[in-house]
């Protein structure tokens, strides 16, 4: 990993310190919450379509390195005390981030 990449990763991690806690509850064992690092944002309404994106859906971006599990549809995610259902999961090409569509 290059020095620039390491510095960027460090800066991003430091910037996340002020974000709300995100917990994912894996379908395999709903009683165990996995703490994860990342952020959430509303999905742009222009993306609401037949692709399964509804108004009010949220995009959750999580660092893969902070999760010992692979999230999947059917899991639940708790953000700032509110529970959401996982609708879809994708991993970026580099393998650094999970992009998770949630509803609820």
Q: Report how far residue 41's alpha carbon sits from residue 33's, in angstroms, rounded to the nearest whole number.
A: 21
The per-residue pLDDT for range 29-80, each reduced to its tens digit, is: 555 677 777 888 888 777 677 677 888 899 998 888 877 788 889 888 888 7
3-state secondary structure of 52: coil
Q: What residue segments make up the domains of the chain, in order of their start?
A: 19-103
Would you tell me which CATH number, out of the four given (3.40.50.970, 3.50.50.60, 2.40.10.270, 1.10.1040.10), belongs to the domain 19-103? 2.40.10.270
Judge whether 71 and 64 are in contact, CB under 8 Å.
no
Q: Which long-range contacts (CB under 8 A, 24 or more apart) does 83-91 make?
A: 84/58, 84/60, 86/24, 87/52, 87/57, 88/52, 91/64
What pTM was estimated for this model as a whole?
0.71
């Amino acid at each position: 990993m290059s020095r620039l990449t390491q510095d960027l990763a460090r800066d991003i991690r430091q910037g996340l310190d002020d974000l709300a806690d995100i917990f994912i509850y894996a379908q395999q064992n709903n009683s165990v919450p996995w703490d994860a690092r990342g952020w959430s944002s509303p999905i742009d309404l222009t993306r609401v379509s037949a692709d399964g994106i509804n108004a009010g859906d949220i995009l959750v971006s999580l660092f893969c390195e902070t999760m010992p599990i692979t999230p999947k549809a059917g899991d639940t995610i708790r953000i700032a005390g509110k529970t959401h259902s996982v609708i879809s999961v994708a991993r970026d090409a580099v393998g650094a981030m999970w992009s998770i569509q949630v509803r609820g």
